Amino acid sequence: MNPDKVVCYCLNITNGMIKEAVDAGASTLEEVQEATGAGTVCGACREDVRHLVEQFVRERN
């Protein structure tokens, strides 16, 4: 996974920023949205963000 790949173009949020939010304790899409703003503008990336959160939470555990 490329940590510099942009997931949320509206706010320029990257894979790495999503992973940092999960590593800091976020465990749900909503918690990552609160921490990063990803998926909160147009919503087009919401499912991609959700999948990343699920993946990173599995890796964390």
pTM for the structure as a whole: 0.93
The answer for residues whose C-beta is within 8 angstroms of residue 30's C-beta and 6 or more apart is none
pLDDT at 3: 96
Higher pLDDT, 1 or 34: 34
pLDDT in tens, 14-59: 999 999 999 999 999 999 999 999 999 999 999 999 999 999 999 9
Give the range of the structural domain holding residue 39, as residue numbers without chain letter: 6-60
The encoded tokens of residue 16 equal 């790495």
In-domain check, residue 17: yes
Could you tell me if residue 55 is inside a domain?
A: yes
Check which CATH number belongs to the domain holding 29 and give it: 1.10.10.1100
Answer yes or no: is 1 within a domain.
no
